[in-house]
Amino acid sequence: MIADSRHEGPIITLDGPAGSGKSSTAKAVAKRLDFRHLDSGALYRALTLGLLRSSVVEADWKNLSEQGFTNLDIDLETSENGFQVLIEGEAVDIELRTPGVTDRVSFVASLPASRQSILGLQRRAGEDGRLVADGRDMGTVVFPHAELKIYLIADLEERAMRRLREVGEDSPDDLGLAQQARTLDTRDQSDSQRAISPLKKAQGAIELDTTGLAFEEQVQAIVDLAHRLTLL
C-alpha cells in the first residue's frame, strides 16, 4: 500500500453510513472554510459506471486486476470548489447516482483491486491540504494523518427519510420508507463487513449524531470544531 503522503495544509475527514449526509455536509463545510471537497464515493460510483459501460461482463468484475480498474480511466480534474470526476476524459455527475450504479457500487468497492486503483488519486487530491474528504475510509486508510476526523451517524429511519426527500418524495408512506431503510441498511452491512477498508470509526474520530440536527447545525458543528483546533 502507498504510504499516506504528508500533506501541506489541514485535512478534515467525514466518514459514515449511507445517507448520513456526508457529501452535502462536506461540501458545505468546505465552502465555509474555503477548502476543497473530495467526494470519494463518486470515485467508486465512477468505477461502477465505467464497468457497466465496458465490455467486461458483470460476472467477471471480481476477477479484474488493479490494472483492469486503472484501464477504466477514472480521473479527477480540479474544479472551482473541489474536483470533477472524469471517465475517459468525460465529466460525469448525475449518471453516477442512477439505481443501476447504486445497486452495484458496494460490491465494486469491496474488491481490493478497485480500492487500490484509486488510492493514489485520492491522496494526490489531498497533497496541498485544505481538503474536506468524505466517504467510508477517509480517516482510517486514505488520510490517517488528517487533522480532524468526524464520524457522522444518524438513525436509519432519519437517513431513509433524507434520501427520499433528496429525490423529491417529501411525505413517503410507511412502505416506501421501510423499503428505502432496507436498501440503505443492506449497503451499510456490506460496507461494514467487508475485509478491506470497512466502514468504521477511525481512531481519534469525533462522532457526530445528526439525527436531531438541522443541516446548518451539523455544518456549524464541524466548522466550530475546525476553528477550535485552529486549523484555519
Cβ atoms of 121 and 76 within 8 Å: the answer is yes
Cβ atoms of 10 and 140 within 8 Å: the answer is no
Task: Report which residue's Cβ sits closest to ligand CDP.
Answer: 41
Question: From the centroid of its chain, how far is CA 230?
Answer: 25
Tell which one of 4, 9, 23, 225 touches ligand CDP (CB under 6 A).
23
Indicate whether 187 belongs to the interface with ligand CDP (CB under 6 A): yes
- Counting every residue written for the chain, the total comes to 232
Phi/psi-derived region of residue 34, left when phi > 0, alpha when psi is between -120 and 50, beta in every other case: left
Options 4-12, 38-46, 52-60, 202-210: segment touching ligand CDP (CB under 6 A): 38-46
Tell which one of 10, 11, 41, 113 touches ligand CDP (CB under 6 A).
41
Nearer CB in complex with ligand CDP: 196/228: 196
DSSP for 115-162, written as a single string = HHHHHHHHHHHTTT--EEEEESSIIIII-TT-SEEEEEE--HHHHHHH
Indicate whether 18 belongs to the interface with ligand CDP (CB under 6 A): yes
Indicate whether 109 belongs to the interface with ligand CDP (CB under 6 A): yes
The 155-184 site mask, x for binding ligand CDP (CB under 6 A), equals ------------------------------
